[in-house]
Copies of this chain bind each other. A is one copy, B any other.
Amino acid sequence: MAIKNDIIVMKFGGTSVADAKKIKNVARKAIKAKEGGSKVVVTVSAMGSTTDDLIEMSNQITGAPSRREMDMLLSTGEQVSIALLSMAIHEKEQPCISLTGNQAGILTDNIYTNAKILSINCNRITNELKKGKIVIVAGFQGVSRQNDITTLGRGGSDTTAVALASALNAKYCEIYTDVTGVYATDPNMVQEAKKIHSLSYDEMLELASSGAKVLHLRAVEFAKKYNVVLHVRSSFDDIEGTWIMEKTNEKMERPIITGVSYDTNQVKITVHGLEDKPGIAASLFGQLAEENINVDLIVQNVSEENIATISLTVTENDKDLAKKVLQELNYKNFELDTEVGKVSIIGAGMQTHPGIAAKMFKFLGDEGINIEMISTSPIRISCIIRKDKIKSAVKALHKGFELDK
């Protein structure tokens, strides 16, 4: 691992730059970070609802906009933010410069509206940093080899920040958002929920994919791949947030379970009367995969007459498409159940502590909650239960695993 530079990358989302007052607040934070002795690179998203407003404008013109022109249009949102933020920093008499994705050297492929970063040529950024400037880079955008503007798709500004932190070999990458960090569970559901001080990339990935929406999966995966230390914190106070990094010497004192997450955006599909012979399940799941339907949990039961029942879960969004696939495959005896939810416990500690699953089932059983399906990863256990039991399940697991301590 290379020695880190004294550079930090700070990323602010759309709500953090939604108006002049908030932009001035971001300017203050950037200046403070620089006065703290770091070289500062700031990435920002488009202000508030700007992106939605631009999409609405394009809707008035056409129902099927060219993706290249969509990127031409949407990239203006971040360009406005960087110019205004730079002005706000100048107003405080600090040297500063704004750079578009193109100017910052962010080269992408040419998959418009969902481009991937190929490389970052940091010459311009490092030159400006050397001149003592705070450098502000437009999030979410890059440029293709053909000199066309591209955007990075959902979570694009987070990805820009992490990619910049990696390319610049930054000390860490701070993701400023409207929450104060990552919580052991949803504070809206469990009032006693505590902010997590630090967790590993894998734990964050499992939390994110199990329903916690602080960070985009893509940015965390990128951070893991390039070993970028992330710090998730609030734009609206100066309190330390949550650190996400490869676990090191902290390991001993970490709790076994890091968090409890839930997802009510699940649909359970049960297919009855399947012949229990090789290839049947393959044709079903093959066809679902073909349609890009992400199947989460799967359970198969075989009855005495060699007739199988398969249950699986998909997201609410894929419900209708999954139904269509089953009909096209001539499955007649199936049912969709939208009244389910998923509750998960996540913790790297469970790898070295056996019996965690048994504990989880006991905590749920004590509440009279029936477990319908189970899936596990090395650091996660998920259960499908009735949707109306989600809240009591989350509370019971949070209390049972002593996350309030």
Contact = CB atoms under 8 A, between A and B. Distances in A.
A241 to B, nearest CB: 27
B98 A72 contact: yes
B61 A24 contact: yes
Interface string A182-198: 00000000000000000
A87 B65 contact: yes
A79 B87 contact: no
Interface in A136-151: 147-149
A126 interface: no
Question: Assembly of this chain: how many copies?
Answer: 2
A60 interface: yes
Contact of A83 (B24, B69, B82, B98): B69
A61 B102 contact: no
Interface in A34-92: 54, 57-58, 60-62, 64-66, 68-70, 72-73, 75-76, 79-80, 82-84, 86-88, 90-91
Contact of A73 (B70, B80, B124): B80
Nearest to A57: B84
B103 A83 contact: no
Contact of A84 (B19, B58, B68, B80): B58
B61 A91 contact: yes
A86 B102 contact: no
Nearest to A19: B60
A20 interface: yes
A23 interface: yes
A181 to B, nearest CB: 29
Interface residues on A, range: 35 or more
A165 B72 CA distance: 24
A83 B24 CA distance: 30
A20 B61 CA distance: 6
A148 B72 contact: no
B69 A86 contact: yes
A86 B66 contact: yes
Contacts of A69: 83-84, 86-87, 90, 98
A84 B73 contact: yes
A371 B186 CA distance: 83
A60 B20 contact: yes
Question: Interface centre among A84, A124, A148, by most B CB within 10 Å?
Answer: A84
Interface string A107-147: 00000000000000000100000000000000000000001
A19 B57 CA distance: 9
A130 to B, nearest CB: 15
Given A103-B147, A103-B148, A147-B103, A61 B84 contact: yes
Contacts of A124: 147
Contacts of A80: 54, 57, 73, 76
A83 B79 contact: no
Question: Interface centre among A62, A87, A97, A148, by most B CB within 10 Å?
Answer: A87
Contacts of A82: 72
Contacts of A58: 83-84, 87
9 shortest A-B CB distances, which residue pairs?
A73-B83, A20-B60, A76-B76, A72-B83, A62-B91, A69-B86, A69-B83, A61-B87, A65-B87
